Chains A and B, each alone.
Chain A
Amino acid sequence: EVQLVESGGGLVQPGGSLRLSCAASGFTFSRYWMHWVRQAPGKGLVWVSRIKSDGTYIRYADSVKGRFTISRDNAKNTLYLQMNSLRAEDTAVYYCARDEDLGGYSNFDYWGQGTLVTVSS
């Protein structure tokens, strides 16, 4: 059974840092592109970042570029999101999602349960 389990969320002050993790199981993690998507309370879904199966082809949303860093450890089956210089507007539930990548067509076929990040003083 495919499972994605996020951790690392919590309350942080503006300007602070957090590192989110997404532990994958039930599939060959090293073969899949992965994404982070966030959802502010009561709002819609916003794509945050993407990383290819081998750790290359990294892309970010403009709103987080230069502050967030996506990475992965295929030996540990884990995806990461390092978040620095956090702002109030980064407050959201952060989801990791697997990209099924069907011949160049991306879709997010499995999602974690999400981890809440709250940026507040």
Chain B
Amino acid sequence: DIQMTQSPSSLSASVGDRVTITCRASQSISNYLNWYQQKPGKAPKLLIYTASSLQSGVPSRFSGSGSGTDFTLTISSLQPEDSATYFCQQTYSIPYTFGQGTNLEIK
């Protein structure tokens, strides 16, 4: 199975900050990488697919990059509503594994 490792596990940042979350795959997954946002008690929401494509309706302050084994999710200017847990997911091979999550708190 492909292991997905996110860092950091948690972070705290202020409104307007630029925030970066990283995700590393245990083997190359090309660009078969998605990012999701999950708020407490809610289902995950797709933010980024194929590493860098912005899902329809997602604010443009979210962006993704990377290929191979190293990926990043960037929020260019943090907003209060961005407080959530973020997960990366590889869909290169079954089982489609997720990272352990990054809990983002707004200061």
Interface positions of A (Cβ within 8 A of B): 35, 37, 44-47, 50, 59, 61-62, 95, 100, 102, 105-109, 111-114
Contacts and interface: CB of A to CB of B under 8 A. Distances in A.
A103 to B, nearest CB: 10
Interface of B, helix, strand, loop or mixed by DSSP? loop
Interface in B28-85: 31-32, 34, 36, 38, 42-46, 49-50, 55
B32 A105 contact: yes
Interface of A, helix, strand, loop or mixed by DSSP? strand
B98 A113 contact: no
B43 A111 contact: yes
A95 B98 CA distance: 14
B63 to A, nearest CB: 16
A107 B97 contact: no
Contacts of A50: 94, 96
Contacts of B99: 44
B3 interface: no
